[in-house]
Amino acid sequence: MIRYALVCEHGHEFEGWFGASADYDDQTARGLVECPVCATKAVRKQIMAPAVAGTKRNTPEGSPQMRAMMMEAMSRVRAHVEENFDYVGDAFAAEARAIHEGRSEDRGIYGEASPAEVKKLAEDGVPVAPLPPAAPKKSQVN
């Protein structure tokens, strides 16, 4: 197994594990590697130091309990948004801009937007944030 530090075009950093170096190239070429935060497929490897065996014990960045707690917190955030905000679908960028400019009722919304639309909203000072991804179904987890 090989671990790569990855970053998407929006600066979201994450890691990916692959069976071999060629697997990363193959999966990227087929559009299978995407950012877990914003789902863009424009992902590249970051420079990282190789893992070198030493006398100090390497511990993962957080225990399984910590990871489970973070996943639960993200699930609660997503559920809160889905229960209390208005879903506007593909009209998200236009509606967010209208709310920001005072042309539409001030309320919480969520929906879909392309990476280019999100970038333009952020550049124009419209407050936007990615919704945490839905937890994978147990049938989709290795």
Alpha helices in 1-142 (DSSP H): 21-29, 64-84, 92-100, 115-123
Comparing C-alpha atoms, which of 69, 19, 7 is closest to residue 44? 7
The H or E element containing residue 15 is: strand 13-18
Query: Would you state the pLDDT for residue 68?
Result: 83
User: Which residues are 44's β-sheet partners?
Assistant: 7
3-state secondary structure of 14: strand
CB within 8 Å of 133: residues ≥ 6 apart = 36, 37, 39, 74, 78
How far is it, in rounded angstroms, from Cα 38 to Cα 47? 21
CB of 106 closer than 8 Å to CB of 99: yes
Tell me the domain boundaries of the chain.
Answer: 2-45, 64-128
Tens digit of each residue's pLDDT, the chain (142 residues): 788 899 999 999 898 888 888 888 889 889 899 988 888 999 999 877 666 665 555 555 667 888 888 888 888 999 999 999 999 999 999 999 999 999 999 999 999 999 999 999 999 999 998 888 877 766 655 5
- Which pLDDT score is estimated for 60? 56
Q: What letter does residue 126 receive in the DSSP assignment?
A: -
